[in-house]
């Protein structure tokens, strides 16, 4: 018998429509979710741990770090082959990435959820949970780190993003694709996501801000960050990592004050690179002290920077971590 621990955190998968609120509200625990599965999981024993009953848009960084600790404790049990986390889809990719960079070992950590609430007659939750449990129990999944299993597909935590607000096939890995799939009761891994890039777990720094570029924006928010205690800033720039005029000077003011600035691309595919100069192409931003994130999204670069700052990593260490990531 293979042991899997299911950690429930709320989300649509654990929600029903509330007449009192006139909206969908989280409130079901992991045991209720497990009881709703449509098919047996032969040869797998599932232990349930209740973590939170919140929609994922209400989770904090402290919640996410607590979830990482709960995952680590579950994996430390000798009879646990892997962990499944039921989670709201809005921030699932972020919690999964934190688990990927902070939780050591080769036992898989599989996140899943639903787009249709538990009271919906055709909720996708039960199937997604069953698929996730099968992946967590599969010897083929050892070494993949954290992943999201949704609509029969397996996606690496580093690469995946929520690409549709409401469809059941909400998750994609732009430019790279899924790493495997679940076919009925069979788990198929087509590729491994590559070496794990672990970060020392010393907590998370909350004061890391994220700013997305748009046509004609001003850098006023960067000066606001400098004046209000930001420990780090991530900019989602245009294309290769470019920004509107004036941003290079604002970046220089931040970096000269010891605040690291990372530049990701707002595009779903491709990497940042110092191709364009002028005010404020990526080359100029790097000249002002910014660091490029390559193919790492702004959402995940923010989390990586938060963890690195908590661990006391300086500029050189941040640059080295970005190169690895």
* Dihedral, 57, 62, 67, 68 alpha carbons, nearest 10: 120
> Which segments of 154-260 does DSSP mark as H helices, in order?
220-227, 247-256
First to last CA, the chain: 36
Residues of the chain with CATH 3.40.50.1170: 2-189
Helices (H) and strands (E) in the chain, counts: 9, 16
CATH number of 2-189: 3.40.50.1170
Helix-strand-coil percent breakdown of the chain, rounded to 5?
Answer: 30, 20, 45
In the residue annotation, 86 being an active-site residue is answered as: no
Structure tokens at 217: 């924006």
Distance CA 3, CA 133 (A): 10
Buried b vs exposed e over 294-317: b needs ≥16 C-beta within 10 Å? bbbbbbbbbbbbbbbbbbebeeee
Among residues 2, 89, 112, 293, the one annotated as catalytic is 89
Three-state SS string over 261-311 comes to: EEEEECCCCCCCCCCCCCCCCHHHHHHCCCEECCCCCHHHHHHHHHHHHHC
Among residues 12, 112, 161, 293, the one annotated as catalytic is 12
User: What's the pLDDT at 278?
Assistant: 95
Other Cβ atoms within 10 Å of 18 Cβ, number: 13
- Determine the distance from the C-alpha atom of residue 241 to the mean position of all C-alpha atoms in its chain, rounded to a whole number: 21
Q: Which residues of the chain have pLDDT under 70?
A: none
Calculate the alpha carbon distances from 168 to 58, 125, 157, 179, 252 in Å: 21, 10, 18, 18, 43
Q: Which CATH number fits domain 208-324: 3.40.50.1220, 3.40.190.10, 3.40.640.10, 3.40.50.40?
A: 3.40.50.40
Q: Which long-range contacts (CB under 8 A, 24 or more apart) does 198-202 make?
A: 198/101, 198/102, 198/104, 199/101, 199/102, 199/304, 199/307, 199/308, 199/311, 199/321, 200/307, 200/311, 201/68, 201/102, 201/307, 201/311, 202/307, 202/310, 202/311, 202/312
> Which segments of the chain does DSSP mark as H helices, in order?
30-35, 61-75, 92-102, 125-137, 220-227, 247-256, 282-287, 298-310, 315-324
Listed residue (236, 229, 248) closest to 292, CA to CA:
236
Whole-model pTM: value is 0.96
Distance CA 240, CA 32 (A): 46
Listed residue (217, 196, 213, 306) closest to 264, CA to CA:
213
User: What's the pLDDT at 227?
Assistant: 95
**Model confidence pLDDT, tens digit, residues 26-65:** 888 888 898 889 888 999 999 999 998 889 999 999 999 9
Residues of the chain with CATH 3.40.50.40: 208-324
Structure tokens at 51: 């973590």
User: What's the pLDDT at 22?
Assistant: 84
In the residue annotation, 2 being an active-site residue is answered as: no
């Amino acid at each position: 018998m293979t042991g899997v621990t299911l950690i429930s955190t709320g989300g649509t998968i654990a929600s029903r429509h509330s007449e009192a609120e006139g909206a969908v509200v989280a409130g079901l625990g992991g045991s209720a979710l497990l009881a709703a599965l449509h098919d047996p999981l032969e040869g797998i024993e599932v232990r349930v741990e209740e973590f939170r009953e919140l929609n994922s848009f209400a989770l904090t960084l402290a919640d996410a770090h607590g979830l990482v600790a709960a995952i680590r404790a579950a994996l430390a049990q000798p009879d646990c082959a892997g962990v499944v986390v039921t989670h709201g889809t809005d921030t699932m990719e972020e919690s999964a990435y934190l688990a990927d960079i902070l939780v050591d070992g080769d036992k898989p950590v599989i996140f899943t959820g639903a787009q249709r609430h538990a009271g919906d007659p055709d909720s996708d939750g039960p199937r997604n949970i069953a698929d996730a449990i099968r992946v967590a129990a599969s010897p083929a999944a050892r070494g993949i780190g954290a992943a999201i299993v949704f609509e029969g597909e397996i996606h690496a935590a580093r690469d995946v993003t929520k690409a549709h607000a409401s469809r059941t096939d909400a998750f994609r890995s732009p430019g790279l694709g899924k790493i495997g799939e679940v076919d009925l009761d069979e788990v198929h891994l087509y590729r491994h996501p590559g070496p794990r890039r672990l970060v020392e777990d010393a907590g998370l720094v909350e004061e890391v801000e994220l700013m997305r570029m748009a046509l004609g924006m001003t850098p006023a928010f960067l000066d606001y960050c400098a004046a209000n205690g930001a420990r780090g800033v991530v900019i989602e720039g245009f294309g290769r990592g470019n920004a509107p005029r004036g941003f290079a000077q604002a970046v220089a003011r931040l970096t000269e004050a010891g605040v690291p600035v990372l530049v990701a691309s707002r595009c779903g595919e491709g990497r940042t690179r110092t191709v364009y100069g002028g005010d404020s192409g990526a080359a100029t931003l790097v000249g002002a002290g910014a660091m490029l994130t390559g193919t790492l999204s702004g959402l995940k670069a923010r989390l990586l920077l938060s963890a690195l700052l908590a661990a006391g990593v300086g500029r050189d260490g941040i640059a080295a971590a970005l190169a690895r990531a």
